[in-house]
Amino acid sequence: MSDDPVTPNPWAQWRSATPARLALGRAGAGMPTDETLRFGWAHAMARDAIHAALDVDALEATLNAQHWETMRARSRAEDRTTYLRRPDLGRQLDPADVERLSTAAKRDCDVCLVIGDGLSSLAVARHAAPLLAALRSHLPAETRFSPVVIATQARVALADEVGELFGAALSVMLIGERPGLSSPDSLGIYLTHSPKRGRHDAERNCISNVRPEGLPCEAAAFKLAWLMREARHRGLTGVGLKDESDLAVLQQHEAPRPGLPG
């Protein structure tokens, strides 16, 4: 008879393949102590990801070192509490930033890049700069970028207003996604053709779960670049543009088929 007070779950072998909370086992009628502690730690990480302020200075320094021009902006949500309670304010630029960006805007750029803290500043701090570094290698050298706008208390639609001010053909928003208990640092990417205020979510394409344990930055950059090229070619994003970048990879690596015998 085993002296271990924990009754193992027969699915325990699956834990090596996923960070999901499964096969936790039990101790009597309750959870094992180590699993209870892990749950508390995961919950604290998710909560901190939402409430921690983005270190804009550090992110800006990293982007400048990669030769990105940067600007700062904020939404109309004055603080984190307002941001969480009033999503509509997170979708609108602060009036002072509207005027400032309008003055400094380089009109008719190809791509407007916006980085928003969203619901996980941790995701932005870890993955935004590596994603942009990877993206450059997949786009033509002559691509005209706007300055990278680092926006705080930001929601996805904020990039529509920024893109409109810059007269961009496409807007790309990198934003922290709502954290889960196994993914406090998941980055989301939203692509919109002809961005302007009032765009609907159905008019965007989304690439989700960008992080080493999900979709790595290099793979996400390849998908994003493919969608950007197709969006410019077709003149749209959203439900009318399906991600078929995997087919492009297969076509590139497809071996020539032998001819039929005569």
Question: Is pLDDT at 221 greater than 80 in this prediction?
Answer: yes
The string of pLDDT tens digits covering residues 132-143 is 999 999 999 999
Q: Which residue in this structure is represented by tokens 């087919």?
A: 247
Contact 149/115 with Cβ under 8 angstroms? yes
- The reported pTM is 0.86
Phi, psi of 73 (to 5 degrees): -155, 170
Return the pLDDT at 33.
83
The span from the CA of 100 to the CA of 204, in Å, is 26
Q: Which of 14, 18, 61 is nearest to 209 (CA)?
A: 18
Return the pLDDT at 2.
59
The span from the CA of 11 to the CA of 5, in Å, is 18
Binning pLDDT at 50, 70 and 90, where does residue 9 land? low
Domain annotation for the chain: domains and CATH numbers: 56-244 (3.40.50.11240)
DSSP class per residue in 57-118: HHHHHHHHHTT--EEEEEBS--SHHHHHH-HHHHTSB-HHHHHHHHHH--SS-SEEEEEE-T
In order of 40, 65, 78, 197, the CA distances from 68 in angstroms are 39, 7, 27, 25
What kind and span of H or E run contains 150?
Answer: strand 148-152
What kind and span of H or E run contains 101?
Answer: helix 95-104
The string of pLDDT tens digits covering residues 21-67 is 777 778 888 888 878 888 888 889 889 889 999 999 999 999 999 99
Return the pLDDT at 147.
93
The string of pLDDT tens digits covering residues 156-195 is 999 999 999 999 999 999 999 998 888 899 999 999 999 9
Return the pLDDT at 41.
87
Contact 188/208 with Cβ under 8 angstroms? yes
Beta bridge partners of 215: 210
Average pLDDT over residues 103-126: 89
Sign of the C-alpha dihedral, residues 2, 7, 13, 19?
negative
Return the pLDDT at 39.
84
Q: For residue 36, what are the contacts with CB-CB under 8 A and spacing of at least 6?
A: none
Q: Which residue in this structure is represented by tokens 């924990």?
A: 6
Contact 172/190 with Cβ under 8 angstroms? yes
